[in-house]
Amino acid sequence: MKSNYKNLLLGVIVLLCFSVMPSLAQKAKDGQAIEQTTSKLNNRRLDKNLERYKEELDLSKKQIKQLSKIDKRYARLERKVDRKDGTRKDKRLLSEQKREEMIEVLNEQQQVKLQALIKKGRFSFDQWFGK
């Protein structure tokens, strides 16, 4: 009688394993879709925040276009790092490079205004980029 219970228990465990494994494999594929969706949301957030800070920083249309272009380029680089199982250090380095490039787009007066907004707590790069 005990061997029947063992066989039944073993059968249930095997059945559960076979039913769970495909769903785990599906989650790995869905991770890429989630990553792309997050990237799109972050781009929308940047666009929204560019509109918001456009007046405060006196951004020109050319600067907005440049900032958007930088954001999209780094979004592609971040996806590459994610696909190659990059470390947090790699992601942090990319983020720092992105910030530096974006700050370079601003003139001195705009950079001073940006620093003032940061000190007041009204601006955060993480919020701007959607992190």
68-102 per-position pLDDT tens digit: 899 899 989 988 888 888 788 888 898 889 889 98
CB-CB contact of 118 with 124 (8 Å): yes
Supply the Cα-derived Rg of the chain in whole angstroms: 23
pTM: 0.59
For residues 35 and 33, what is the distance between their CA atoms, to the nearest angstrom? 5
Give residue limits of the domains in the chain. 32-129
CB-CB contact of 92 with 74 (8 Å): no
Token output for 2: 């005990």
Average pLDDT in the 36-46 region? 49
Burial of 37 (0-12, 13-18, 19+ CB in 10 A): exposed
Q: Coil, strand or helix: which one is 86?
A: coil
Give the pLDDT band (50/70/90) at residue 4: low
Task: Name the average pLDDT for the chain.
Answer: 70
Closest C-alpha to 50, from 115, 112, 93, 114: 114
Burial of 102 (0-12, 13-18, 19+ CB in 10 A): buried
**Dihedral, 75, 76, 77, 81 alpha carbons, nearest 10:** 100
